[in-house]
């Protein structure tokens, strides 16, 4: 049964939340696979086509909740849960994998699921603007360009390197600049000493225990442990 694969982190949760997640997993166990082996989520579906499930009045994405519950999967720091089967409603754990949002967008483009360029109603740029942005970079930084064109810096970066607007030639690599690391970052909540302590204490102490001890979120703890952050130490 799928419940036998429950993650270590879930075992440390309070009884109420653990029971809710167990009910969620038991529900998935009752779904009959289709001809592709997909387990199509039988309850709420978001506008984007993904299953949704509520625990204590918080709505979760079914693929993300399932992957994090069974795989101890960390989905922060630019990582997302991807469907290998290309079926957003599927909740078969064997059809899920971790990847980047860029990989997700590239898959969608290859499979003709994306409206490209100005045909996409969610696009904040025009083709003419993308050409201009690439011509102005790197004389102007991505932050400056974001202000000029009234969009997020991430949209500018994606347009420059070709994660988006791939049908327009002229991609450019981003120029890396020296960035403040660790304690030198103004928003850092931890010291290098604490980061080393966290890595030394895990797995003798669980993620939730370390999160409580150091006053930071679960995502930060797992990012440190998996070296997605604080890579320089």
What SS3 state is found at 58?
Answer: strand
pLDDT of 55-105, one tens digit each?
877 888 888 888 877 765 555 566 778 888 888 889 998 888 887 766 666
Phi, psi of 126 (to 5 degrees): -110, 165
User: Whole-angstrom Cα distance, residue 193 to residue 182?
Assistant: 11
What SS3 state is found at 13?
Answer: coil
Phi, psi of 26 (to 5 degrees): -65, -35
Q: Domains of the chain: which residue ranges?
A: 2-75+85-97, 117-177, 182-225
Q: For the chain, what percent of residues have pLDDT higher than 90?
A: 3
Contact between 211 and 221 under an 8 Å Cβ cutoff? The reply is: yes
pLDDT of 167-183, one tens digit each?
777 888 887 665 545 55
pLDDT below 50 — which residues of the chain?
A: 1-12, 115, 119, 121, 180
What SS3 state is found at 79?
Answer: strand
Contact between 187 and 194 under an 8 Å Cβ cutoff? The reply is: no
Q: What is the pLDDT of residue 40?
A: 92
């Amino acid at each position: 049964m799928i419940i036998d694969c429950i993650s270590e982190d879930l075992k440390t949760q309070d009884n109420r939340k653990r029971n809710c997640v167990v009910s969620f997993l038991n529900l998935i166990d009752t779904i009959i696979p289709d001809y592709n082996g997909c387990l199509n989520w039988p309850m709420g579906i978001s506008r984007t086509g993904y299953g949704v499930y509520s625990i204590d009045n918080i709505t979760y994405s079914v693929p993300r909740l399932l992957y994090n519950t069974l795989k101890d999967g960390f989905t922060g720091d630019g990582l997302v849960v991807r469907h290998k089967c290309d079926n957003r409603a599927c909740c078969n754990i064997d059809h899920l994998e971790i990847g980047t949002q860029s990989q997700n967008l590239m898959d969608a483009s290859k499979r003709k699921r994306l409206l490209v360029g100005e045909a996409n109603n969610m696009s904040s740029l025009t083709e003419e603007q993308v050409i201009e942005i690439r011509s102005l970079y790197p004389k102007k930084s991505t932050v400056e360009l974001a202000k000029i064109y009234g969009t997020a810096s991430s949209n500018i970066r994606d347009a420059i390197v070709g994660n988006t607007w791939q049908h327009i030639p002229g991609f450019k690599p981003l120029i890396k600049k020296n960035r403040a690391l660790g304690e030198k970052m103004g928003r850092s909540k931890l010291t290098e000493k604490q980061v080393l302590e966290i890595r030394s204490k895990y797995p003798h102490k669980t993620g939730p225990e370390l999160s409580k001890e150091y006053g930071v979120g679960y995502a930060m703890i797992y990012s440190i442990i998996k070296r997605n952050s604080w890579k320089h130490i």
